[in-house]
Amino acid sequence: MSPRLLALFLAAAGAAYSADHEFDRVVSAVETHYGVKRTHIPLMGLANFVVKVAHPAGTSGVKLAVFEDLPPAPGGDDLADLDRFMNEVCAGRLHPMVVTRSRLAGESTYILTGEVGKSTRMLIATFEPHEATVIEVTVNIETLLKMIGSPETAHRLFQDKHDDGDGGR
């Protein structure tokens, strides 16, 4: 293997490792911040591997973590506190592309990306009064642009599909 090929391989492996690592890191940070554990989704891994039709068009490799019965955040209902938390968790690694907050619905959505490429690894974190969802997904650029255009529906694309898949839990 030539040094250049080796370097390319290592860079690709590093990027893949880093993408996986980001999801786990964000999930772990939410668990620590709120003092909850993610809800186990039966056969999530199998569904992800086999049921490709469950993914919206232009997406692949969905990872999903759902947090139910979410207690109030340590900083209360302060959305700025949630912003600070997400900024700290993602600092230097993920860039917030779109952030929406609804005080009335108590809902915040963060759409973050790492390195942008032909296929982009994207992280969508949604916080509702009693539930949070963290989704990592590889999207093609068309899907990415669609999600930027309607961020409030981005997480539902994946969550609803998986809700259907496991009978709504």
Partner 1 sequence: MKIAAVLLFTALIPLGAQDIKMPASLEKLAAKADETVDVTLDASLLKLAGRFLSDKSGDEAPAKKILAGLQSITVRSYQFSREGQYDPADLEEIRAQVKAPQWSRIVGVRSKKDRENVDVYFKDGGNGNLGGIVVLCAEPTELTIVSVVGTIDPAQLASLGGQFGIPKFDFEIGSIGWRRDGK
- Stretch touching partner 1 by CB under 8 A, among 50-58, 68-76, 102-110, 158-166: 102-110
The binder of partner 1 chosen from 38, 56, 98, 165 (CB under 8 A):
98
The least CB distance from residue 11 to partner 1, in Å, is 17
Q: How many CB atoms lie within 10 A of CB 160?
A: 13
The binder of partner 1 chosen from 95, 129, 160, 169 (CB under 8 A):
95
Separate counts of helices (H) and strands (E) for the chain? 5, 5
At how many degrees (to 10) do helices 141-149 and 151-165 cross?
Answer: 110
- Stretch touching partner 1 by CB under 8 A, among 52-60, 72-80, 130-138, 160-168: 72-80
Residues 61/45, Cβ–Cβ less than 8 Å: no
Total residues contacting partner 1 (rule CB under 8 A)?
Answer: 26
Query: Roughly how many angstroms between the first and final C-alpha of the chain, as a whole number?
Result: 48
Q: Is there binding between residue 149 and partner 1 (CB under 8 A)?
A: yes
